[in-house]
């Protein structure tokens, strides 16, 4: 069976639902420190689980005969700047817990999300390469860069089959994000429908790598289903989807909601965004497991506005 730790989060919720569609609800255990939305809670087994508690994870793994773990629990960039030590503890100890279970052969395969946050101001900003200078300046970015090093170490030293993707900012409407710097790209659609206006916490020309959630989930499953011998990267794969600025989104939203108005009031998250790339080179993912993006900004905007109207 599969265990999703952090199953109630922005990625975890849609990942768990997709995995349940594919493998059957009873074969996908949702684990989280807090309960999720009613759709998720009604769709299959749930275990209250603290990602930093090795014993608790091991009990769930043994009880449900788990062979694959998706570790989606983490504290994101903006919140991590407010609670550095709590972020480090959660982001790192949860990873060591599942890596060590795999080293002891108690589970067979792991997915762990990295992020474009591993890059810093000294990294080439445009078409950021798979292998390049990485001097992250945020707690979250440091934890993701360190996590990548440990994933590669456990693969090389103990043969642990751990796979990872450097997610860009993710855009979804089913489960709201929490504490991310890229969350403006979700909030803007919600506010556009509710108030026909949005005050953006990043400046208008802040270009960031982004991706619609359906593409991110599909990439995750394609990587996890790829034959191990095809994979040349065991730190984390660059993944490119879209790259746009708040100005780009506001133009598209205006074409759907003409009275929409945007204002800009950059806050502490501007410095975080400025330390990240504007666009990503994902040629390794395209070569190793045939990755290709499906949602462009127009398709993403339509999906967000229609999805929010229906939910």
CB of 300 to ligand VAH, least distance (A): 15
116: contact with ligand VAH by CB under 6 A? yes
Instruction: Please say if 140 is a catalytic residue.
Output: yes
169: contact with ligand VAH by CB under 6 A? yes
Residue 83: C-alpha distances to residues 80, 87, 90, 171, 311 (Å): 5, 6, 11, 24, 33
CB of 190 to ligand VAH, least distance (A): 16
134: contact with ligand VAH by CB under 6 A? no
Site string for ligand VAH, 62-81 (x = CB under 6 A): --------------xx----
Which residue of 143, 181, 278, 301 would you call a contact of ligand VAH, by CB under 6 A? 181
Which residue of 64, 140, 198, 201 would you call a contact of ligand VAH, by CB under 6 A? 140
Strand partners, 135: none
What are the structure tokens assigned to 174, written together? Answer: 């089913």
Encode the chain in three state secondary structure. CEEEECCCCHHHHHHHHHHHHHHCHHHEEEEECCCCCHHHHHCCCEEECCCCCHHHHHHHHHHHCCCEEEECCCCCHHHHHHCHHHHHHHHHHHHHHHHHHHHCCCCCEEEEEEEHHHCCCCCCCCCECCCCCCCCCCHHHHHHHHHHHHHHHHHHHHCCEEEEEEECEEECCCCCCCCCCCCHHHHHHHHHHHHCEEEECCCCCCCEEEEEHHHHHHHHHHHHHCCHHHCCCCCCEECCCEEECHHHHHHHHHHHCCCCEEEECCCCHHHHHHCCCCCECCHHHHHHHCCCCCCCHHHHHHHHHHHHHHC
CB of 219 to ligand VAH, least distance (A): 14
Number of residues that bind ligand VAH (CB under 6 A): 12
Which residue of 49, 75, 102, 117 would you call a contact of ligand VAH, by CB under 6 A? 117
CB of 214 to ligand VAH, least distance (A): 16
Specify the stretch interacting with ligand VAH by CB under 6 A; choose among 21-29, 157-165, 177-185, 289-297. Answer: 177-185
Which residue of 44, 120, 147, 180 would you call a contact of ligand VAH, by CB under 6 A? 180
List 140, 173, 184, 198, catalytic entry: 140
168: contact with ligand VAH by CB under 6 A? yes
238: contact with ligand VAH by CB under 6 A? no
What's the CA dihedral at 281, 70, 138, 97 to 10 degrees? -130
CB of 115 to ligand VAH, least distance (A): 4
182: contact with ligand VAH by CB under 6 A? yes
Specify the stretch interacting with ligand VAH by CB under 6 A; choose among 126-134, 150-158, 173-181, 247-255. Answer: 173-181
115: contact with ligand VAH by CB under 6 A? yes
Q: Which residues sit at the interface with ligand VAH, rule CB under 6 A?
A: 76-77, 115-117, 140, 168-169, 177, 180-182
Which active-site residues does the annotation give?
140
């Amino acid at each position: 069976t599969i265990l999703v730790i952090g199953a109630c989060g922005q990625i975890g919720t849609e990942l768990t639902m997709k995995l349940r569609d594919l493998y059957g609800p009873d074969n996908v255990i949702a684990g989280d420190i807090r309960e999720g939305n009613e759709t998720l809670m009604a769709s299959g087994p749930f275990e209250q689980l603290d990602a930093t508690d090795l014993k608790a994870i091991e009990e769930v793994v043994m009880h449900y005969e788990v062979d694959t773990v998706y570790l989606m629990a983490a504290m994101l960039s903006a919140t991590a700047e407010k609670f550095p030590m709590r972020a480090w503890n959660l982001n790192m100890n949860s990873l060591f817990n599942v890596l060590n279970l795999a080293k002891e052969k108690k589970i067979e395969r792991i997915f762990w999300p990295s992020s474009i946050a591993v890059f810093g101001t000294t990294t080439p900003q445009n078409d950021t390469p798979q292998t390049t200078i990485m001097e992250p300046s945020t707690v979250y970015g440091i934890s993701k860069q360190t996590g990548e090093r440990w994933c590669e170490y456990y693969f090389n030293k103990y043969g642990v089959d751990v796979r990872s993707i450097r997610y860009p900012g993710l855009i979804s409407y089913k489960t709201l994000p929490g504490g991310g710097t890229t969350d403006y790209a979700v909030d803007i659609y919600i506010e556009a429908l509710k108030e026909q206006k949005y005050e953006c916490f990043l400046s208008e020309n802040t270009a960031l790598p982004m991706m619609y959630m359906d593409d991110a989930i599909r990439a995750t499953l394609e990587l996890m289903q790829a034959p191990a011998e095809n994979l040349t990267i065991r730190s984390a794969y660059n993944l490119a989807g879209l790259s746009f600025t708040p100005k780009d989104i506001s133009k598209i939203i205006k074409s759907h909601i003409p009275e929409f108005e945007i204002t800009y009031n950059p806050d502490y998250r501007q410095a975080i965004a400025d330390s990240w790339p504007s666009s990503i080179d994902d040629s390794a993912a395209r070569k190793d497991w045939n990755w290709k993006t499906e949602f462009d900004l127009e398709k993403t905007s339509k999906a967000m506005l229609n999805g929010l109207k229906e939910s």
